[in-house]
Amino acid sequence: MSYTPNSSRYSEMQYRRCGKSGLKLSAISLGLWHNFGHVDQLENCSDILKLAFDRGITHFDLANNYGPPPGSAEENFGRLLKRDFSGYRDEMIISTKAGYTMWDGPYGDWGSKKYLVSSLDQSLKRLNLDYVDIFYHHRPDPETPLEETMAALDLVVRQGKALYVGISNYQPIEAARAIQLLKEFGTPCIIHQPKYSMYERWIEDGLLDLLGNEGVGCIPFSPLAQGMLTDKYLKGIPSDSRAAKAHGALQENQITEERLVQLNQLNAIAESRGQKLAQMALSWILRDDRITSVLVGASKPEQLADSLACLSNTTFSKTELDQIENILM
C-alpha cells in the first residue's frame, strides 16, 4: 500500500537553526549507521523511516560505509526514497560522508580530493540522487594537507553534488583550521558531527565554544552511547540488542558492573523527571542551544517514538544537573 505522510508532521517537532546558516534541522535526526544494511529487514527500515517522517524528522544521516556491507545503507535508503517517499525529497535533508575505508588501494580512504570526489559520486549512485544536502569529511586525515581536503568539499558544492558541507570527528584545533579554510574558499562549514553523550564529554573542552563562536552547527552522534544510556541493559543483554549482534559496534564488555550501577542511578533521576532514561539522555544534550540536532539510531519504530518524547522536557534544574554530574564523576 502506498504511504501517505501524516499531514500534521510539522506541528510537534522543533526546528533549530544550524549555526548561523539558513538551514534548520529537526531537533532529532535519524542516523542509518546500524539497522539499515543488507543484513537488516527492508520493511523494518521502511517502518522506521515512515515513523520518523510522520513525526517531523527531516534529517537523515548516512555515510559511504554504512551497512553492513559498506554502501548497503545508502542503497536501501535510495530504494525506499524512491518507493515510499517520492515527491518528498525537498522536505528532506540527506547527508553522507567519506573518510573511513571504503575500497581497496590508496584512493579509497582518508581525505584526498581523489577519494572524496569519487566517493560522493558513488554515494549519489547508490542513493539514486543528483545531490546530497550535506557532505561531510568523516574524520581528519593526518597525512593529506587540510587545504586539499577542504578544497574537495568546496569543489563538490561548486559541482552541485552537495548543497552544504561539514566535518566530523575533528578536534578543536583542526576544526578551527578547517572552518577558516572553508570560509576562505567561500563555502562555509555549516556543521560539525562529533560523538557526544553523558559518557563522552570531550566537546565540552573547547569544541562547543568554537562552534558557538564561529556560528557552526553541532549534531552529536551516539547520544545514547549506542543504547547503553537506555533502560535496555539494566536487566541483562537482550538477544536482539546491538551488544548481542555480531556486527554491532557495542561490545558486551562495555556494559560493566560499574556502568550498570550508574545507569540505575541515572534511571532513577529520569523517573523523577517523568522520563525514561533514553529520553533524559537526549534532553540533556538538547539543553545547550549550541546543539542543532541530536542524531539518534533506532532498530525499531517504537524506539524512535520513545526517543522523540524527550522533546517535551529539555530543561533541567541545577539540582538535577548536579545529581547527574555526581553520578558520572
Q: Which amino acid is at 213?
A: N
Q: Is 169 in the site for ligand NAP (CB under 6 A)?
A: yes
Pick from 54, 148, 306, 320: which binds ligand NAP (CB under 6 A)?
A: 306
Segment interacting with ligand NAP, rule: CB under 6 A, options 81-89, 106-114, 208-216, 219-227? 219-227
Q: Is 123 in the site for ligand NAP (CB under 6 A)?
A: no
Binding mask 19-38 for ligand NAP (x = CB under 6 A): ------------xxxxx---
Residues 295 and 220: beta-carbon distance below 8 Å: yes
Q: Is 299 in the site for ligand NAP (CB under 6 A)?
A: yes
Cβ atoms < 10 Å from Cβ of 140 = 20
Pick from 40, 61, 109, 154: which binds ligand NAP (CB under 6 A)?
A: 61
Pick from 27, 295, 311, 324: which binds ligand NAP (CB under 6 A)?
A: 295
Work out the burial of residue 309: count CB atoms within 10 Å of its CB; fewer than 13 is exposed, 13-18 middle, 19 or more buried: middle
Pick from 46, 58, 112, 222: which binds ligand NAP (CB under 6 A)?
A: 222
* Helix H or strand E segment including 137: strand 132-137
Work out the burial of residue 259: count CB atoms within 10 Å of its CB; fewer than 13 is exposed, 13-18 middle, 19 or more buried: middle
Distance CA 305, CA 46 (A): 15
Minimal distance in Å, beta carbon 319 to ligand NAP? 25
| Tally of CA atoms within 13 A in the half-sphere of 329 that contains its CB | 7
Distance CA 53, CA 5 (A): 7
Q: Is 170 in the site for ligand NAP (CB under 6 A)?
A: no
Nearer to ligand NAP, 217 or 297 (CB): 297
Residues 175 and 210: beta-carbon distance below 8 Å: yes
Nearer to ligand NAP, 185 or 221 (CB): 221
Minimal distance in Å, beta carbon 222 to ligand NAP? 4
Distance CA 234, CA 99 (A): 35
Residues 113 and 155: beta-carbon distance below 8 Å: yes
Q: Give φ, ψ of 220 to 5 degrees.
A: -65, 140
Q: Is 296 in the site for ligand NAP (CB under 6 A)?
A: yes
Nearer to ligand NAP, 124 or 296 (CB): 296
Minimal distance in Å, beta carbon 44 to ligand NAP? 11
Q: Is 137 in the site for ligand NAP (CB under 6 A)?
A: no
Torsion from C-alpha of 2, 30, 66, 210, nearest 10 degrees: 150
Pick from 242, 262, 266, 290: which binds ligand NAP (CB under 6 A)?
A: 242
Minimal distance in Å, beta carbon 48 to ligand NAP? 10
Q: Is 267 in the site for ligand NAP (CB under 6 A)?
A: no
Q: Is 189 helix (H, G, I), strand (E, B) or coil?
A: strand
Q: Site residues (CB under 6 A) for ligand NAP?
A: 31-35, 61, 138, 168-169, 193, 221-227, 230, 232, 241-242, 278, 295-299, 303, 306-307
